[in-house]
Structure 1
């Protein structure tokens, strides 16, 4: 039994098709089928149930799949960590971000590149809580800046700063002329909100629940820019992080602060606790901490 056999089996189990798996692995279907048969003989138990209609994992196959997938993941992590041991001033830094950090992260990157000019930096939007955990555990990112507090044994969440969530509406909206706006005044307004799985949505719904009112949700979006586009057309109102609109020069929209303890969130620097991070990666994390420390 070797790593290649495990890789073949996990791919077949993921695809539940020899032809699709063979295509993905760039080998012939008969070669793949023989490799799986040899693995089953070595294990001493059938791993795949085959019939004319579909393929399924046996009970033994399910257990073997979980262990094999975990082992392959660990091998992949080990390979990447070994590649990064020698990384000091060149290579790739992958950062997961949320939309509202756009007002400060370019400044940190500029200072960082003065220290590591040959580093290639990749910025990836990672928005939901599950996506944050997956991107870290699968080594898709070195670190994340997120509003999701991740309470897991293998993940560290370091608070950086707090930011308010503010009401944004079209300048022609009747509420735009008011100096103070209460959440209860928003109950019947067409509301634009993040889809399920986003912390911002939970914060907004909590703010409404505290006032015992329910928002009139008309649009569900994933990106704040989409929400602003809808507001610009006066199709609804929204609540988004203040830093996302802090430098906006768009005169078609106005923002208002609403007094609610729920409409404030914490931004975290998040990373794997036990993952080896190269000096160049650690240096970026120190730059971020130093900005808000």
Structure 2
């Protein structure tokens, strides 16, 4: 039994006419009649009662017709699912990220959700260089937004933008009222820094080393969120990406920039060069390559370019 024989049979029943069914199927009527007779011969009983004016299903034909409808419907569903799988893959895209992208990535995801409402996006915090490489190579993520430059033959590391590292302190801090500060002003301060292995920590150490300013490190934590809470408690000062903070004023934190040209870091998007990704996932990666820029960030860039 061929699949197309079931299609022919269902069409004849639905049209109640061989001639009308033949037109719908773009077949000659004799070819259609022969196909139905061959189907009946193959299954061993008549499916249709034919008269000069009417075509009716036999009792056995009714059973076959109902089952044929189910098969054809399931086939249509399967074909649609094949198209969807080809476009969306498993329907899940996993993105590794660092904390400072939290202020612009929602805008990208909001637009993406409108275009691909059935896609699920899983955001995973991935921080160290080793974790980024492991997550990519073990297929834990499709792409990673990171401040780690991965110099590896199997991984793309594409720079997205540079972000400034800012000094944060409690409003009661002795430097809170100064219009501008230097790294030398921070020489005797109690510092809260990120853990060993994180690139931001190394960027800060490099900046202080270049200016010959020693640091007094008393606290090491993994997340910027924890650093901010410790600063709010007036435990010490810290340096984290300016983009971590929203544009809304926060009276519990004072944010200061310095004259250091080294206190910046680059944010990259990284992904495997030879990994197959569905078109829907490629669209998200393409959008992440052009990160959302807030009005204040756009103004800052325009001022730097002038």
Whole-angstrom distance in 2 between the partners of 1:219 and 1:183: 19
**1:103–1:247 CA contact under 8 A, matched in 2:** no
Larger Rg: 2
The alignment's TM-score, normalised by the length of structure 1, stands at: 0.69
2:103 matched to 1:103? yes
2:86 matched to 1:119? no
Runs (5+) with no aligned partner, structure 1:
1-83
Residue correspondences, number: 210
Whole-angstrom distance in 2 between the partners of 1:122 and 1:146: 16
Q: How does 1:52-201 map to 2 (within 5 A)?
A: 86-88=86-88, 91-201=91-201
Closer, same or farther in 2 for the Cα pair 1:126/1:258, shift >3 Å?
same
Q: Could you list the per-position Cα deviations for residues 9-39 of structure 1 after superposition, in whole angstroms to 9, with x for gaps in the alignment?
A: xxxxxxxxxxxxxxxxxxxxxxxxxxxxxxx
What do you get for the CA RMSD once the two structures are aligned?
A: 1.7
Runs (5+) with no aligned partner, structure 2:
1-83, 294-306
Structure-2 residue corresponding to 1:289 = 289
Structure-1 residue corresponding to 2:59 = none
**2:96–2:141 CA contact under 8 A, matched in 1:** yes
Structure-1 residue corresponding to 2:208 = 208
Structure-2 residue corresponding to 1:225 = 225
Structure-2 residue corresponding to 1:60 = none
- After TM superposition, give the deviation of residue 288 of structure 1 in Å: 1.6
Q: Could you list the per-position Cα deviations for residues 98-132 of structure 1 after superposition, in whole angstroms to 9, with x for gaps in the alignment?
A: 00000100110010011110001100000111100
What SS does the corresponding residue of 1:218 show, helix, strand or coil?
A: strand
- After TM superposition, give the deviation of residue 249 of structure 1 in Å: 3.7
Structure 1, 253-262 or 97-106: larger mean CA deviation: 253-262
Structure 1, 257-266 or 215-224: larger mean CA deviation: 257-266
What SS does the corresponding residue of 2:196 show, helix, strand or coil?
A: coil
The alignment's TM-score, normalised by the length of structure 2, stands at: 0.66
Whole-angstrom distance in 1 between the partners of 2:87 and 2:140: 17
**1:90–1:120 CA contact under 8 A, matched in 2:** no
What SS does the corresponding residue of 1:134 show, helix, strand or coil?
A: helix
Closer, same or farther in 2 for the Cα pair 1:205/1:290, shift >3 Å?
closer
